[in-house]
Amino acid sequence: MTYALHTLAAQAGQAGQVGQAGGLTGFVLDVVDALGAPGAGALSFLEVVFPPIPSEVVLPLAGYLVQVGRIDLVAVLVLSTLGAWLGSLVLYGFGAAVGLRRAAAIAGRVPLVEADDVHRSADWFRRHEGAAVFTGRFIPGVRSLISVPAGAARMNLVKFSLLTLLGSGIWNAVLIGIGMALGTQYRLVEEYGHYVDYVVYAVLAALLALAVARRVRRVRAERRTG
């Protein structure tokens, strides 16, 4: 049992009666409990640059720890939003440095990402620009890729940053709020948190299968045309 969950059990007067949270849920709880709000910020940064741990898992669990008094609400919201912004700046800089075409080619060699994903994000950015940067923060996957065409187009950095901070802040606040509501039901996290792991693993497996299928179709099409 993690230290965080020992503490939660003691606070609830239920020591020894709660289960063990393992897998992704236990990992996130351990990281955020050990590092506090900076841990949530670091995970938010990683989720944007390379999303092995989606914010839809990280931030509700951070909100859960806020509700039970382990970490501070304002600090979590501010640092998770800053983490998302800094991750977006990395991808913005990548797009600005290499250009859209080369960025798409590099992305095509990254697992779970296709060059077409970058081009579709670029098309959306060209049609909507600022609105695409803002609303993209609410869409998994897009919130990372939309920064690349923004950088390639050399969108005004101040405007890009403000829209990213605003969109990320709203999205993070919603997820943290969901976790705070869950914080009053700590037994649910203890007893059913592993089901969150199953869902995330299933989604990742499905995305991997989709990426493989898309890659196979592309190779076959290139062979036919070649």
pLDDT at residue 9, as a whole number: 40
225, part of any domain: no
pLDDT at residue 11, as a whole number: 43
Q: Which domain holds residue 189?
A: 3-217
223, part of any domain: no
Tens-place pLDDT, residues 27-81: 777 788 888 899 999 989 988 887 656 777 788 888 988 988 889 999 999 999 9
31, part of any domain: yes
Total tally of structural domains belonging to the chain: 1
- Rounded to whole angstroms, how far apart are CA atoms 209 and 214? 9
226, part of any domain: no
Overall pTM surpassing 0.75 (yes/no) = no
Kindly give the residue spans of alpha helices, DSSP state H, lying in the chain. Answer: 3-11, 23-35, 37-49, 55-67, 73-107, 115-128, 130-135, 142-145, 147-152, 157-182, 186-225
222, part of any domain: no
pLDDT at residue 92, as a whole number: 95
125, part of any domain: yes
Q: Find the radius of gyration of the CA atoms of the chain.
A: 19
56, part of any domain: yes
Q: Give the pLDDT mean for 108-127.
A: 76
For the chain, give the mean pLDDT: 76
Tens-place pLDDT, residues 153-176: 999 999 999 999 999 999 999 999
pLDDT at residue 219, as a whole number: 58
224, part of any domain: no
